[in-house]
A and B are shown apart, each in its own frame.
Chain A
Amino acid sequence: MAVASDDRRTAFETEALPHLDAVYRLALRLSGDEAQADDLVQETMLKAYRSWHQYKSGTNVRAWLLTILRHTFINEYRKAKRAGPTVDIGEIEGYYVFHEVQEVDPEGEFFKQIVDDEVLRAIDSLPDEFRETLVLSDVEQLTYAEIAEVTGVPVGTVKSRLFRARQALQQRLYDYALEMGYIKGVKR
């Protein structure tokens, strides 16, 4: 059995561990807490290692790991509601920001002035299901079909969540840019 165990260790090291950063990033965005993210990642990787025989070689190992992470988070970690305000996703008007800036900054130059931390904070203000969809797509670059598989919803739901999440986030970042004076508001 020592040989089988070594094989698994080698396979896990070369195939699963390269995705540790992705697993960590999603853990951070889901839990909103570094210590909890550490525990969540460790537990996810332990579960993945133990059930490595269930992973089909050649399929997307990152999506598989992120699925385990998400289940672990929902079943064992998500106890209290996250602190902090969440944006209202119900009121999203499509392409609102472009219509606001098309005369002053149609190429979206103002985005360049917004730093990483502010973008992550804005992502964290999205409601759970919109935040996870956006992170899986825009941070981890999963396809719609992979996101549907990880989050357990139809592709159509992924599309509509992604649209609303991206537009809500954009609106929030635009409001921030206005506040910081990175862009001038249009007089109406």
Chain B
Amino acid sequence: MSAPRKIDCQAAADRLYEYLDGELTPDAYDEVRAHLEDCALCFKVFGFENTYLAFLRARTRAQKAPEHLKKRIFKHILFDQDSAESQ
């Protein structure tokens, strides 16, 4: 177990969304996390962006397919002989 490689603020900022989206390799993730423990400003920026992404998720997922559309799908696709034909 070696300590993560040191990275600077720019390198951390370049990986911000990959870090928050869980898209980094474990080593790259550890490097960013170690930087955030040392750098109060980056810690704040990451916190702010994390709040923003959580806000986007919370505000955009309420829309559901309307009932009439669900009925159409059932009627015209699942229980329609024509649509059962392949191609």
Taking Cβ atoms with an 8 Å cutoff, the residues of A that contact B are: 5, 8-9, 12-13, 17, 20-21, 23-25, 28, 38, 41-42, 45-46, 49-51, 53, 94-95, 98, 101-102, 106-108, 111-112, 114-116, 119-120, 123, 135, 137-139, 141, 143-144, 159, 162-163, 166, 169-170
Contact = CB atoms under 8 A, between A and B. Distances in A.
Contacts, number: 113
Nearest to B65: A24
A44 B35 CA distance: 45
Interface residues of B, number: 37
Contact of A119 (B21, B53, B59): B59
A184 B78 CA distance: 54
Given A5-B84, A42-B72, A98-B49, A139 B55 contact: no
Contact of B73 (A8, A20, A101, A138): A20
Contacts of A138: 53, 56-57, 60
17 contacts: A12-B78, A13-B78, A20-B69, A24-B65, A42-B72, A42-B77, A46-B77, A53-B86, A108-B55, A116-B62, A120-B60, A120-B63, A138-B56, A143-B23, A166-B17, A166-B52, A166-B56
A9 B83 contact: no
B48 A119 contact: no
Interface in B2-60: 13, 17-18, 21, 23, 44-45, 47-49, 51-53, 55-57, 59-60
Nearest to B41: A102
Contacts of B62: 116
A41 B18 contact: no
Given A50-B87, A111-B55, A166-B17, 19 more contacts: A8-B84, A24-B64, A42-B73, A42-B76, A49-B78, A49-B83, A50-B86, A98-B48, A116-B59, A116-B62, A120-B59, A138-B56, A138-B60, A139-B56, A141-B57, A144-B18, A159-B18, A166-B52, A166-B53
